[in-house]
Structure 1
Amino acid sequence: MLNKHSLITRLLIIVTSAAIVFALIYAKLHYSNVFDKEMQRSNNTIMQIGQTVSATASIAAYLEDKDLANEVLNGLVSNDVILGAQLNGLKSVLAKSILYKTDLPVTFSLSNPFIIGEQIGAIYIEPNTIFIEQNAQAIALSSVRTLMIVIVPMLLIFAVLVYFLITQPLNYLSGQLAAITPGKGQRIAIPKTHKHSEIGTISNNINKLLYRTEALFKQERSLRQDIELFEKRFRLMFEKSSSPTLLVKERGDILLINEAAQDLLIGLGLDLEERFPDALGKACKTPDILYTFTSNSVNQKQVMQSEFEFSNQLTQETVWLNIIIINTESDDQWYLQVFISDITMKKVMISQLKQKAQYDRLTGLNNRYGAELVLLEWLDQQRPFSLILLDLDEFKPINDIHGHNAGDAMLQHIAEQLKLNVRADDLICRWGGDEFLIALANISDQETKDIATNLTKVIATPFNYTKADQEHTLVVSASLGIACYPEHATSLKALVECADVAMYTIKRTSKNNFAFYQI
């Protein structure tokens, strides 16, 4: 008798069930296919009957002969597939059967038998839908019954063969294998009828495995001692490592944490008893991203690395940590190796280098390189903006007369005026020397004119500069050239050139004014 918990038994049941399901699905598809074909055949029959009587019906319509029309309709409704019909002439109904009621008949146009292309009437046929469907169902069911008579015995034969040829021998082997105690020299007896079959091959392989198992038992005792030694060395290396490291269960329980990690987390004011990443989440400035980062590593079983900004819970200082997560499987259990490193100094250095690379040291504004990065991003986003190129008038005499310190003070004053008189989201840049560049995003021409008008006024306002305890009044003005993206140009170089042309138009004429680029 089959063991109901046997894998082979369950496999047999699954395979047989699958075969039955497949047979049922196939029977359903076969039924649908036969049904559709019978329905199509009936429709074709109606079309053929309609075409057959069209010639006679055309004569009846041409002559407006109601008797002949009635004979045509009687011939039509004598067919089982037709429930009713109606024959129309050009001006009237020539004949109509009693059961004809449909609003969606099969229509056949009637042509003049003597004049090609002239329509003189129509035949409307109402199919006997109930008869057609019942007939199609009967034929389809009959076909399915015939099919099942063939399939069911085949399934039964298949199940019996699988049981006697596979299930029973494998159960026999399973019983023998369960009775063997590894290391005592016991072996499986091969069934006589399966010495040259796959069952015999499996039995031989199991016996070979038993031989190898006995040899492995001897090796295992030696390896166990080696493992204990390696474990001690690993713990020493892990615990004394200068790199903060945690070993975490997949669900977040912290199993191991070395001294460096303890010092780091305690220094941040975090609780070591909490799960990972909850222990870090309270101090992280983007906890949702940290949780998603950890979840992705767990779900995808991939090495993940990212940098996160934290707030020290004790000092409130900003700390940057680089976190690497490696997924490791052991004994069918997944673990997370978490490596943490403090990269705060690196971040500070990068920020300082970025500040030097993208900002003007004198005015604190974006320098040319920094402005180009922003403007190229705007162009990639296809964000409309107005670009103002501003050049100071009469700036050189200030340097010549009062010195470069006065010139620097004037540039700083101009930078502050620009900041105060444009919108917070606009870009201000010291383009070079006494040239400034202003980019106004998503702005109308009128708003651009208003800002440009105001800039010419505030820049021309006198600036008091003290030198050697003497106060000097310094005055400059500005010439502004304006180009708009994308109206005037679609590349940064071309846009700056357009603004430069407009600026020099003012420079050569009135100064202390602005002009839009003219195409």
Structure 2
Amino acid sequence: MINKSSLIIRLTLALALASVLFGALYSQLYYRSVYSDALTRSNEVIKQIGQTVSATASIAAYLEDKDLAIEVLNGLISNDVILAAQINVDKQTLARSSLYKGQAGNMFTLAHPFIPNAQVGEIVLVPNEVFIRAQADTIASESLQTLLLVTSPMLLFFVLLAYILVTRPMSAISRQLLLLPPGEEQRLAIPKNHHHSEIGQIAHSVNLLLDKTQDLFSQERELRDAIATLEQRFRMMFERASTPTLLVHNSGEVDLANDAAQDLLVGLNVDYEGTFPDMLLPLCKSPELLQNLFNDCLAHRTVKQLEIEFESGLTHFPVWLNIILIPTVSDEGLYLQAFINDVSYKRNMIKELKQKAQFDPLTGLNNRYGAELKLRFWLDNQIPFALLLVDLDKFKPINDIYGHNAGDAMLKHIAVKLKECVRNDDLVARWGGDEFIVAVPHISKEGLTKIAAHLVSNAAAAMSYNKEGQVLSLRISASVGVASFPNHADSLHELIEKADSAMYRVKQSSRNNFAFYE
């Protein structure tokens, strides 16, 4: 006959065994579920990262700023969940990370910062599958350990019950377990003669659980260190970026200013700890435009851009700044990312190139290209005007007898004399060689006759020229042909031909005179 106490012990052990088996099955299912959720969350994190950097990447793609694009990629790949990344503009690679080898990844389109429903490029993010799966495994293991810790009171109940009903060593093991601090090196001592028994196995299993708990504490510390490192890297990327950047609260208070922004503002004699855009308004040539830019960005929450002129508070020289405002909504409210670039050099280069392209370096007058731009504008807008083609008489002997320096001096002399005959808004240009044109809009024939006569008279004025200490009086004359738009022609080419025809008649007859096209 089975002893009653022995039956209770067996039933207790059977119930404990069933509980353990059920717990193991449930733990496996729970592990798989948490593992799958962790993978899904990692993919969502990648999407969020892509969306977070899409504004900055859009600016880099729009400006085709490779340095800014590389900084964005460096920030992305510093995140452990991203293995590699690439930014494309118009199917061309703007920047890519070193580990990007053409792998497939998550692709995000980069919206155009100024044109709705348009895009300037795309960014490809390659997930770090190894890290993601390892992280998912870690999270699942941690969650499983947490589950085990939650269910430990029930297990302790059965352990205590088994201790009371089975043997004293089980009670000793329980006391040791209660006294063990979590995350430390201490482990349970297996009772003598129980190294191969169920009690010994329990003690050994508990020791394994303690090992994993210690690993969990270590991983948690490592995770905190990794988060701190990541935060430091993002801050370093912001502070050391070559593009001057401000983080501005919707109240105008500047929360962050990177080193490049501080250098730029200090160079303008502006306190970067002030409020935006108030701190820039005293130096701005068009303060109402800057204030409207800030207000519109806050009101419409869309990207705004403005290129505007300032005066440096230190040098008092003009400075052109390109300001881009990007609204960003966070848990703390609405912020603006302000990118401020000094484009003075670019503006000066454009101005210099325009000067070289449209003006004659010798006389300072418009050249043929510059004159054609203004004349075609008048033609396109149907503005009536008269065109006078001026050809110098006997200019070649000046060059042949006195040299090219004398010829250049004569051309500059003629340019001054021609400008004296017309208004500031009228056009005087060197058409080429010793040919000039004068164009006067909205003028009567009587007024045109006076101007033409004045041109002939002024061109014939003598010029004093010093050649090797000898002062010479040099004189030439001019033949002028006159044609009008739209009376004589409706295109620039035809108008020049008609004025040239009239001028040629003067050349054939008397020179030093003018004639209207007939």
Rate the CA distance shift 1:292–1:508 in 2: closer, same or farther, 3 A: farther
Mapped to 2, the partners of 1:379 and 1:295 lie a distance apart of 40
| Structure 1 residues 344-423: aligned runs within 5 Å | 344-423=344-423
Rate the CA distance shift 1:221–1:388 in 2: closer, same or farther, 3 A: farther
| Structure 1 residues 190-229: aligned runs within 5 Å | 228-229=228-229
- SS across alignment from 1:282: helix
- SS across alignment from 2:280: helix
- SS across alignment from 1:327: strand
Q: Which segment drifts farther, 358-367 or 270-279?
A: 270-279
| Structure 1 residues 286-305: aligned runs within 5 Å | 286-305=286-305
- SS across alignment from 1:471: strand
Q: Which residue of 1 aligns with 2:336?
A: 336
Mapped to 2, the partners of 1:229 and 1:471 lie a distance apart of 81
Q: Does 1:255 align with 2:270?
A: no
Q: Does 1:245 align with 2:218?
A: no
Q: How many residues align?
A: 302
- SS across alignment from 1:515: strand
Q: Which segment drifts farther, 401-410 or 290-299?
A: 290-299
Shift of 1:309: 1.4
What is the one-letter code of the residue matched to 1:376? R
Rate the CA distance shift 1:475–1:318 in 2: closer, same or farther, 3 A: same
- SS across alignment from 1:438: strand
| Structure 1 residues 425-464: aligned runs within 5 Å | 425-464=425-464
Shift of 1:229: 4.1
Rate the CA distance shift 1:426–1:221 in 2: closer, same or farther, 3 A: farther
- SS across alignment from 2:283: coil
Rate the CA distance shift 1:248–1:223 in 2: closer, same or farther, 3 A: farther
Q: Which residue of 1 aligns with 2:501?
A: 501
Shift of 1:228: 4.7
Superposed CA deviations along residues 60-80 of structure 1, whole A, max 9, x for unmatched, are xxxxxxxxxxxxxxxxxxxxx
Rate the CA distance shift 1:319–1:388 in 2: closer, same or farther, 3 A: same
- SS across alignment from 2:493: helix
Q: Which residue of 2 aligns with 1:131?
A: none
Shift of 1:224: 8.0
Shift of 1:273: 3.9
What is the one-letter code of the residue matched to 2:498? C
What is the one-letter code of the residue matched to 2:308? F
- SS across alignment from 1:496: helix
Q: Which residue of 1 aligns with 2:182?
A: none
Q: Which protein has the larger Cα radius of gyration, Structure 1 or Structure 2? A: 1
Shift of 1:225: 7.3
Rate the CA distance shift 1:222–1:296 in 2: closer, same or farther, 3 A: farther
Mapped to 2, the partners of 1:324 and 1:223 lie a distance apart of 36
Is the CA contact 2:257–2:272 (under 8 Å) kept in the aligned structure 1?
no
Mapped to 2, the partners of 1:490 and 1:304 lie a distance apart of 43
Q: Which residue of 2 aligns with 1:283?
A: 283
Shift of 1:347: 2.0
Mapped to 2, the partners of 1:324 and 1:488 lie a distance apart of 50
Mapped to 2, the partners of 1:264 and 1:484 lie a distance apart of 53
Shift of 1:221: 12
Superposed CA deviations along residues 349-394 of structure 1, whole A, max 9, x for unmatched, are 2222221111111111110011111111222222221111110111
Mapped to 2, the partners of 1:423 and 1:510 lie a distance apart of 28
Q: Does 1:320 align with 2:343?
A: no
Mapped to 2, the partners of 1:295 and 1:509 lie a distance apart of 69
Mapped to 2, the partners of 1:483 and 1:298 lie a distance apart of 56
Superposed CA deviations along residues 166-218 of structure 1, whole A, max 9, x for unmatched, are xxxxxxxxxxxxxxxxxx99xxxxxxxxxxxxxxxxxxxxxxxxxxxxxxxxx
- SS across alignment from 1:320: strand
Mapped to 2, the partners of 1:253 and 1:355 lie a distance apart of 42
Q: Percent identity?
A: 55
Q: Which residue of 1 aligns with 2:13?
A: none
Mapped to 2, the partners of 1:445 and 1:496 lie a distance apart of 18
Rate the CA distance shift 1:332–1:517 in 2: closer, same or farther, 3 A: farther
Shift of 1:395: 0.8
Q: Which residue of 2 aligns with 1:234?
A: 234
Shift of 1:312: 0.6
Mapped to 2, the partners of 1:483 and 1:289 lie a distance apart of 44
Shift of 1:466: 1.5
Mapped to 1, the partners of 2:296 and 2:249 lie a distance apart of 15
What is the one-letter code of the residue matched to 1:402? Y
Mapped to 2, the partners of 1:427 and 1:498 lie a distance apart of 18
Q: Which residue of 1 aligns with 2:489?
A: 489
Mapped to 2, the partners of 1:413 and 1:419 lie a distance apart of 10
Rate the CA distance shift 1:384–1:300 in 2: closer, same or farther, 3 A: farther
What is the one-letter code of the residue matched to 1:500? D
- SS across alignment from 2:487: coil
Superposed CA deviations along residues 421-461 of structure 1, whole A, max 9, x for unmatched, are 21111111000000001111222222111111111111111
Mapped to 2, the partners of 1:403 and 1:285 lie a distance apart of 48
What is the one-letter code of the residue matched to 2:418? L
Rate the CA distance shift 1:441–1:317 in 2: closer, same or farther, 3 A: same
Mapped to 1, the partners of 2:287 and 2:367 lie a distance apart of 34
Shift of 1:299: 3.2
